[in-house]
Structure 1
């Protein structure tokens, strides 16, 4: 962390530059930069590495309003060519789904998925999720320190979503590898080429998987989606592929990083850990505060202005991309008292945090993510109550990707049993 960011002795122009460039220093601790932008430039024009005009929203009230504003479209293929300029033509095969669509298409897709991905189906998974967590901990490396991200935080939600969709066990590793590439690590020619190859492989794989589910239904979510219909008919093959992709990707990535964030902050703050693990209700409440304090979903997915939109005193021109910083909004002192302090007993957090979005695009998988988080923390700390960080909290390494979607650790080394 540079001394300038650490001391907050920097200008709003320097803050905007840092947020645009996503420097290593900014990724290590974006909170001082976001604080400066909230104060001086709450709707801030950026110059991101993808080169498309973008505005960043950092205040809580503005973020809430923007997440539900119909003038800010999620249909990245219907109105502008910016998304294809950033991600390429091949992205449409996977990204033309309910996450990147507006009503009435979004309404239809979400209704069909919602009729199959029900709270009842989610709750029925609870015993299986517990068993997966216990098995992962049983198989956890005995050498120390242990990096919990690859050993536990990522495998848990990945296995759960793969089992839910019906992805065969021997195919998950390859699907996960393609998924990681599609998550992007850069915007240069080499990264774009790797992205196109991975997207093509994933598309072909999902087409084949859907064909197999059509021939031999297995009772899983993907089989249910293959046969699901509403008054407007069934999902097309193209819609099935892109829906399967968004469920696979969104169903594990954000939860994995969120589990890591939770473990890190609880270990870094033992008194908060003690309060969070008193009982099941305390753990459930603590999870909501951790969603606020260090959400893994740092920024919303892209929106674009369908018309000129005025937010505060800034005009966002028609066609510009809009990025809503959930991380910045969650540290807004006008919305949360003492926001830079994690307080697992903070009241009413579930009703106010934006970790799962707001409005029509509220995350359909929120119940599953909450259940996985609670089971993960209960199983992990139940088995290893004396677990400790393997290094000083301030030495933690955070993701350093060129344009942040996720806020998470690059590694989580711990000592499982310091005794």
Structure 2
């Protein structure tokens, strides 16, 4: 069953439920219906949070650049806070003041400390090392399929790259538990998994403290060293420093893991395009852009808020209600992309919004593009006959509110080159 089958064609409910396995496996028919009905809809998330979702390309682009919409959680009203502010104190105060939740001028000051580490020029200089890391992980795969490309490749690759980029030493990188990344998945106060959620938070916070201590004791010119030095000069608060490291460790690698899986699934669903990429590796840069557009790991943006009752594309939004932009819905808008549901690796131009837009455009976009180009190119070239080893309907999609990805990706291949 897909979302188009689960809702009557005559009208959309209010709010529109964004939940359940059919929705996560293929949200695009529902997004198409929402775009056709209008640019802004009230939606319901599994946690019980109600929000306003922006769906069309032009409306999404405008919202991402609308300086009336702020990101700071202090703008949220009591209705939003009752269900959305689920990270307990003191962790919410100590780990949630990163870039995704800040507005200028604080956002401008904090972002300036990151940008040099993720420039396209620096990323390209790292490309040979990134290729070495990709080859090392492929070398560890079985000589013939089956294999799980999440556990065997996609879960480790972006974190190894990130460690190189930010200056995380091997001994600390080896200690990082990928399970800690689940702290961004909502677990309400009455959820049976709440105790485990809080244990993850405490463990991750202790790990961040060790990262800071190591960077301070081994002062260097890497990103972690520069952030700690900025804290020691009084340019960052302790909470800002910890939150930025939290953002790097979680948001800096989990979306790339998920984007590798969504890209591979798209290629498996379009075997002619996979064959095209295998025969013409020079197509990779353009292919990456199309794969980002076609099914982005950043499905929805994080919260935005008006500080007063405001009009958004003809819909009145109360102050402090959350506004979220659907990047995936925008990237399939037929008014911007001809035949948008078709995967065309040669598509161009391709002004997708997979990395957002405006002042909150993903600062790691250049690095993510390089990682995706190298990861997909390496897997396709070194695993002849690469194919999905389970039925499409048996793919386990992560029940994340904002992102798309899979727990596992079982594949087969003829041999490992």
Q: Which residue of 2 aligns with 1:346?
A: 347
Q: Assess, with a 3 A threshold, how the Cα gap between structure 1 residues 11 and 192 changes in structure 2: closer, same or farther.
A: farther
- 1:254 deviates by 0.8
The within-5 A match list for 1:7-18 is: 9-14=8-13, 16-18=15-17
The within-5 A match list for 1:99-138 is: 99-138=100-139
1:380 aligns with 2:379: yes
- 1:376 deviates by 0.5
Where 1:13 maps in the other structure, the secondary structure is coil
Where 2:129 maps in the other structure, the secondary structure is helix
Q: Which residue of 1 aligns with 2:324?
A: 323
Q: Which residue of 1 aligns with 2:277?
A: 276
Q: Which residue of 2 aligns with 1:367?
A: 366
Q: Assess, with a 3 A threshold, how the Cα gap between structure 1 residues 288 and 195 changes in structure 2: closer, same or farther.
A: same
Q: Which residue of 2 aligns with 1:397?
A: 395
The within-5 A match list for 1:284-299 is: 284-299=285-300
Distance 2:155 2:339 in 1: 31
Q: Assess, with a 3 A threshold, how the Cα gap between structure 1 residues 296 and 222 changes in structure 2: closer, same or farther.
A: same
For the aligned residue pairs, the C-alpha RMSD in angstroms reads 2.6
Distance 2:396 2:9 in 1: 22
User: Which one of the candidate residues 397, 410, 414 is aligned to 2:407?
Assistant: 410
Q: Which residue of 2 aligns with 1:65?
A: 62
- 1:122 deviates by 2.3
User: Which one of the candidate residues 206, 220, 232 is aligned to 2:208?
Assistant: 206
Distance 2:273 2:229 in 1: 47
Distance 2:301 2:366 in 1: 19
Where 1:152 maps in the other structure, the secondary structure is helix
Distance 2:215 2:187 in 1: 34
Distance 1:177 1:291 in 2: 23
Q: Assess, with a 3 A threshold, how the Cα gap between structure 1 residues 120 and 133 changes in structure 2: closer, same or farther.
A: same
Give a deviation string over 1:89-123, Cα, whole Å, max 9, x none. Answer: 32232120111100000000011222444434323
Q: Which residue of 2 aligns with 1:236?
A: 237
Give yes or no for contact 1:52–1:321 (8 Å, CA) kept in 2. no
Distance 2:415 2:234 in 1: 58
Q: Assess, with a 3 A threshold, how the Cα gap between structure 1 residues 170 and 64 changes in structure 2: closer, same or farther.
A: same
TM-score using structure 1 length: 0.90
- 1:274 deviates by 3.0
Give a deviation string over 1:363-410, Cα, whole Å, max 9, x none. Answer: 000000000001111111111132122134x33524241x52111223
> How many residues in Structure 1 have an aligned counterpart in Structure 2?
411
Q: Assess, with a 3 A threshold, how the Cα gap between structure 1 residues 195 and 92 changes in structure 2: closer, same or farther.
A: farther
- 1:288 deviates by 0.3
1:87 aligns with 2:84: no
Q: Assess, with a 3 A threshold, how the Cα gap between structure 1 residues 328 and 384 changes in structure 2: closer, same or farther.
A: same
Distance 2:388 2:179 in 1: 31
> Could you tell which deviates more after superposition, 287-296 or 177-186?
177-186
Give yes or no for contact 1:16–1:44 (8 Å, CA) kept in 2. yes
> Could you tell which deviates more after superposition, 220-229 or 336-345?
220-229
Q: Which residue of 2 aligns with 1:56?
A: 53
Where 2:104 maps in the other structure, the secondary structure is coil
Distance 2:182 2:124 in 1: 31
Q: Assess, with a 3 A threshold, how the Cα gap between structure 1 residues 180 and 112 changes in structure 2: closer, same or farther.
A: closer
Distance 1:7 1:238 in 2: 44
Q: Assess, with a 3 A threshold, how the Cα gap between structure 1 residues 171 and 211 changes in structure 2: closer, same or farther.
A: closer
Distance 1:404 1:213 in 2: 33
Distance 1:410 1:224 in 2: 34
> Could you tell which deviates more after superposition, 271-280 or 67-76?
271-280
